[in-house]
Structure 1
Amino acid sequence: MKKIVSVSSKSELAAFIDFPHELYKDDANYVPELFIAQRDLLTKHPFHKHNKLQCFLAYDGDKIVGRIAAILNNAHNEYNKANDGFWGFFDCINDQETANLLFNTAAKWLKDQEIDGKFIGPVNFSTNEACGLLIKGFDTPPVLMFTYNFPYYADLIEKAGFHKQIDLIGWHWEGQNYDDKSVKLLDALQERLKRSNVYIRKVNLKDFKNETIKLREVYNSAWDKNTGFVPLTDDEFDWLAKDLKLILDPDFALVAEQDGNVVGFAVALPDYNNIFQKIKKGRLLPTGLFKLLFGKKSIRGIRIYALGVVEGYRKLGIEAVLYGTIIKEYKRKGYDYADAGWTLENNTMINKAIEAIKGDPYKTYRIYEKAI
Structure 2
Amino acid sequence: MSSLSIRPVVTKADTKAFIELAYRLNGNDPNWVAPLRDEEYAKINPKKNGWFSHAEVQLFIAERDRKVVGRISAHLDLLALEMAPEQGFGPGVGFWGMFEAEDQNAAKALINTAEDWLRKKGMNKAVGPMSLSVWEEPGLLTKGYDHPPTVLMAHHQPQYRGWIEGMGYGEVKKLLTYDLDVSKGFPPLINRIVAAGEKNERIRIRCVDKSRFEEEAKLILAILNDAWSDNWGFVPLTQPEIDDVGKKLKPLVFEQLIRIAEYDGEPVAFMVALPDLNEALKPLKGHLLPFGWAKLLWWLRKPKARTARVPLMGVVKRLQASRLASQLAFMMIEFIRRDSVANFGVTRGEIGWVLEDNQGMNAIADAIESKINREYLIYAKTL
Alignment deviations for residues 113-134 of structure 1 (CA, whole Å, 9 cap, x no partner): 2212x20011122221111111
Task: Map 1:247-326 to 2 at 5 A.
Answer: 247-258=252-263, 260-280=265-285, 282-295=286-299, 299-314=305-320, 315-316=323-324, 317-326=327-336
Q: Indicate the larger mover: 326-335 or 119-128.
A: 326-335
Alignment deviations for residues 339-369 of structure 1 (CA, whole Å, 9 cap, x no partner): 1101111112211211111111011110011
**Offset of 1:185 from its aligned partner?**
4.5
**Offset of 1:210 from its aligned partner?**
1.4
**Offset of 1:270 from its aligned partner?**
0.3
Give the whole-Å Cα distance in 1 for the aligned partners of 2:304 and 2:271: 24
TM (norm. structure 2) is 0.91
Q: Indicate the larger mover: 264-273 or 32-41.
A: 32-41
Partner of 1:336 in structure 2? 347
The 3 A distance-change label for structure 1 pair 351 and 107 is same
Matched, 1:173 2:180: yes
Give the whole-Å Cα distance in 2 for the aligned partners of 1:156 and 1:129: 23
**Offset of 1:3 from its aligned partner?**
0.6
Matched, 1:122 2:129: yes
Specify every segment of 5 or more residues in structure 1 that has no aligned partner in the other structure, as ranges.
none
SS at match of 1:17: helix
Given the alignment, which residue of 242, 251, 257 partners 2:247? 242
Task: Map 1:22-61 to 2 at 5 A.
Answer: 22-43=24-45, 44-61=48-65
The 3 A distance-change label for structure 1 pair 103 and 112 is same
Matched, 1:85 2:102: no
The 3 A distance-change label for structure 1 pair 28 and 15 is same
Partner of 2:87 in structure 1? none
Task: Map 1:62-73 to 2 at 5 A.
Answer: 62-73=66-77
Q: Are the aligned partners of 2:272 and 2:313 in contact in 1 as well (CA < 8 Å)? A: yes
Alignment deviations for residues 9-54 of structure 1 (CA, whole Å, 9 cap, x no partner): 2221122111111101211111011111111111121111221011
- Aligned residue pairs total 366
Partner of 1:141 in structure 2? 148
After superposition, the CA RMSD in angstroms is 1.7
Give the whole-Å Cα distance in 1 for the aligned partners of 2:259 and 2:360: 21
Give the whole-Å Cα distance in 1 for the aligned partners of 2:270 and 2:246: 13
Partner of 2:382 in structure 1? 371
Give the whole-Å Cα distance in 2 for the aligned partners of 1:298 and 1:202: 19
SS at match of 1:335: coil
The 3 A distance-change label for structure 1 pair 183 and 270 is farther
Given the alignment, which residue of 356, 362, 365 partners 2:367? 356
**Offset of 1:175 from its aligned partner?**
5.6
Specify every segment of 5 or more residues in structure 2 that has no aligned partner in the other structure, as ranges.
85-89
Letter aligned with residue 6 of structure 1: P
SS at match of 2:289: coil
Letter aligned with residue 12 of structure 2: K
Q: Are the aligned partners of 2:51 and 2:133 in contact in 1 as well (CA < 8 Å)? A: no
Matched, 1:102 2:107: no
SS at match of 2:333: helix
Structure 1 segments (4+ residues) deviating >6 Å? none
SS at match of 2:13: helix
Letter aligned with residue 241 of structure 2: E
